[in-house]
Structure 1
Amino acid sequence: MTDGVSCGVEEYGLFSSWTAMAQDCDKNGPQSVCDAVHAHEETGPDGRQHPRYKVHDDKALVWARFSK
């Protein structure tokens, strides 16, 4: 994942933990996680609540499940 997605855990607190983000990704797919972060950024485009240098960062996330 890119930092544009990781901020959903680290800066924004949209997911309570990396495990919670992974569970959402497993249940709803990676686009759901990216959409949640993007939607949160839309609620504060001026960056006051979560300072950032641009409204949206690029977001990329790959979810893969490996079996033995």
Structure 2
Amino acid sequence: MPQQPHSIATPAEHIVTAREALELLYLHLEQEAEAKLVAAAIRAGWSAEEALSAIDELKLEDMQAIARRKS
């Protein structure tokens, strides 16, 4: 699938916050990364369900690590 260029609003446009400008690209990249991880796990012999469960566990560990750093 060809990569579509993503447009990110500049601060001069003052129409959105930086988060709003990046949110769609962030979500797209997250979905793309998850799809690649699941595909790799399937090629290695794991089921999609096992891969998604492992990804969820990794995300939870990341969130917990971030929360620990903030406290």
TM-score (norm 1): 0.34
Return the structure number with greater helix share: 2
TM-score (norm 2): 0.33
Larger gyration radius, structure 1 or structure 2: 2
Higher relative contact order (CA 8 A, sep 6+): 1
